[in-house]
Structure 1
Amino acid sequence: MNGWTVLLVGAGAAVGAPLRYLADTAAKARFASVWPWGTFVVNVVGSLVLGAMTAGSAEFGPEVVAVVGTGFCGALTTYSTFGYEVAGLAERGRAGAAWGYLAASVAVGVCAAAIGFLVVRVLLG
């Protein structure tokens, strides 16, 4: 890895992190729910984009993968917040919501990654 790659990752992260914050803030303002919609949405979107990046990595090149895959998706998505929210739901006596959030996040995230992968594969031929 060279200095240029580090700057590319940082540039992607500079976009992804504020978007995560804005998505979470918007979700909390819009939905009065115990379900952590902001984290759920950014993790699913990040999975979709990362699946697409994986499928097209050879065509996109290492620079695009660094900016979008590592930087943007790495800063947009958040496994630590996801884990914290699952534990928080369980601690507040909302075990059903915790299990539902955990299962839905994993299932929808994996499906989103597969869709992103397949769409790019079809588009690239």
Structure 2
Amino acid sequence: MEWKHFVLIGFGGGLGSAFRAYVAHVLRGGFPWWTFLVNVAGCFLIGFLMRELDEERIGLRFFLVTGFCGGFTTFSAFGSETMELLRAGEFGAGLGNVALTLACCLAAVAAGHELAKG
């Protein structure tokens, strides 16, 4: 990997993180829908991009996949919010968050792959 790839990843990660913060600001409150939505959207996007961007466009791949998608999606927030639900005794919501997130994120990656395949 060349140094410019690290720079591309950094810029992409910054943009992804900023966009995630914006979505969190707009959709805050109650059930952690913002985390769910960014994770599903990010999974769809990464599924599409991994299929669409070949090695000839490695710079764009680093910028969008590793950088933007890495900064945009947030597994740590998912884990933290799920733990908060469980600690509050909201076991149905906590387990539902896990099941819904995993199922929808896997489906989103598959949908992204299929869309890119054409």
User: 2:70 corresponds to which residue?
Assistant: 74
| Partner deviation per Cα, 1:83-116 (whole Å, 9 max, x = no partner) | 1111110000100000001100010011111111
Could you list the runs of 4 or more consecutive aligned residues of structure 1 that deviate by over 4 angstroms after TM superposition?
none
User: 2:21 corresponds to which residue?
Assistant: 21
| Partner deviation per Cα, 1:40-90 (whole Å, 9 max, x = no partner) | 111011000000111123276211110000000000001111111111100
Counterpart amino acid of 1:105?
A: T
Counterpart amino acid of 1:25?
A: H
Q: Do residues 86 (structure 1) and 82 (structure 2) align?
A: yes
Q: How far apart are the structure 1 equivalents of 2:14 and 2:88?
A: 33
Q: Superposition pairs for residues 26-105 of structure 1, below 5 Å?
A: 26-28=26-28, 32-33=29-30, 35-58=31-54, 61-105=57-101
Overall identity of the aligned pairs, in %: 31
Q: CA RMSD in A?
A: 1.2
**TM-score with structure 1 setting the length:** 0.90
The SS at the match of 1:61 is helix
Give 1:16 deviation, angstroms: 0.3
Structure 2 regions of 5+ residues with no counterpart? none
The SS at the match of 2:89 is coil
Counterpart amino acid of 1:14?
A: G
Structure 1 regions of 5+ residues with no counterpart? none
